[in-house]
Amino acid sequence: MRYFVRRLIHLAVVVFAVTTLTFFMLNLLPGDAAYHTVSEEASPQDVEAIREELGLDRNVFVRYVRLLKDTVCGDLGTSSRSREPVMQTLMACLPVTAELLILSQIIALSLAVPLGILCASKAETILDTLLSSAAFAMISVPSFVMAIVLIYCFALKLGWFPATGYVPLSEGFLPNIKSFVLPSLSIALAEWVTLMRVLRADMIITLHQDYILAAKAKGVQPGSVLFKHALRPSSLTLITVLGINVGHLMGGALIVETIYALPGIARLMVKSILARDVAMVQGCVLFITVGCVLINFLIDMAYSIIDPRIRRRRPIA
């Protein structure tokens, strides 16, 4: 329990520092939200008036304290760009990013787990070498290059999926999934390699453990040995890497959301930064950071399920 409290405090400090830094960094950017509302034909007086309206004429620190107070009270404020409540917009964008990330993780895992097991069980064979080399090549493909290649092959040449664009769930499940296949693949294909390598390494070690040898000696089917006995204890590092990756994924999500024109949270953040929509950027940063924290927390939980011995002994960064 104390461990969790301490972690919570540590995280609170980091979240606070990140949002503070974001706020002041945004203020360093030339131009403010008033210039978003006006057009080129505005006079400097118009800009000043709008600045007043948005409360931008007040001191940076005053504004920051106010924002902080509102955030603590659970009010994320109103977007200066769309004049919609920040919460509402975030809630609209969240499912898009969530769907993208979840689908990509499912694809990555469904590639990594079977291939990782395969490579581990056939370690040091030609099959293993070939697969590992292919994986090594794949990890060297930047996600935007992967996206371009996927669009070219599967959308433009084969026409299986739409090239870009988002179809909301309200327009049918299949079209929705179809619009997510290529974006998720773009992320998954770059990521599964790491997962596979980690699983393969852990699996090799597990396969040399006595209890596996004992199971084999008892005549348990090889497939059953791999999936029932070896997979669970071998997936510790895999899970950790999944957690660490969540942070990186947001960067990947930005590129993918941009290329495929998905209205997700990463793109919302960039658009809001460009519009100096401070409230919205803060909302995005908060959501993303808390999201990462939550996922890592869940992964901590997963540890104790996978290996009950670990419980509360191992602090995971």
Residues 232-291, interacting with another protein (CB under 8 A): 247, 250-251, 254-255, 258-259, 261, 263, 268-270, 273-276, 281, 285, 288-289
The nearer residue to another protein, 16 or 221, going by C-beta atoms, is 16
Neighbouring residues of 24: CB distance < 8 A, sequence distance ≥ 6: 60, 64
Least distance to another protein, CB of residue 225, Å? 19
Q: Return the residues of window 162-181 that contact another protein according to CB under 8 A.
A: 162-168
Phi first, then psi, for residue 264 (nearest 5°) are: -95, -175
Closest CA to 87 of 252, 255, 265: 265
83 binds another protein (CB under 8 A): yes
Instruction: Identify the residue among 9, 65, 127, 205 touching another protein (CB under 8 A).
Output: 205
Q: Return the residues of window 32-61 that contact another protein according to CB under 8 A.
A: 35-47, 49-50
Least distance to another protein, CB of residue 310, Å? 18
Distance, in Å, from the CA atom of 79 to the CA atom of 54, rounded to the nearest integer, reads: 10
Least distance to another protein, CB of residue 219, Å? 27
Distance, in Å, from the CA atom of 267 to the CA atom of 280, rounded to the nearest integer, reads: 12
**Helix 173-207 crosses helix 86-121 at what angle (to 10 degrees)?**
40
Closest CA to 229 of 263, 203, 190: 203
For residues 79 and 279, the answer to whether their CB atoms sit within 8 Å is: yes
Query: How far from each other are the two terminal CA atoms of the chain, in whole angstroms?
Result: 17
Size of the site for another protein (CB under 8 A): 89
Q: Per-residue x/- marks for another protein, 108-147, CB under 8 A?
A: ---------------xx----x--xx--xx-xxxxxxx--
Instruction: Identify the residue among 94, 118, 204, 299 touching another protein (CB under 8 A).
Output: 204
Structure tokens given for 90:
């975030």
Q: Return the residues of window 10-29 that contact another protein according to CB under 8 A.
A: 13-15, 17-18, 21-22, 25-26, 28-29
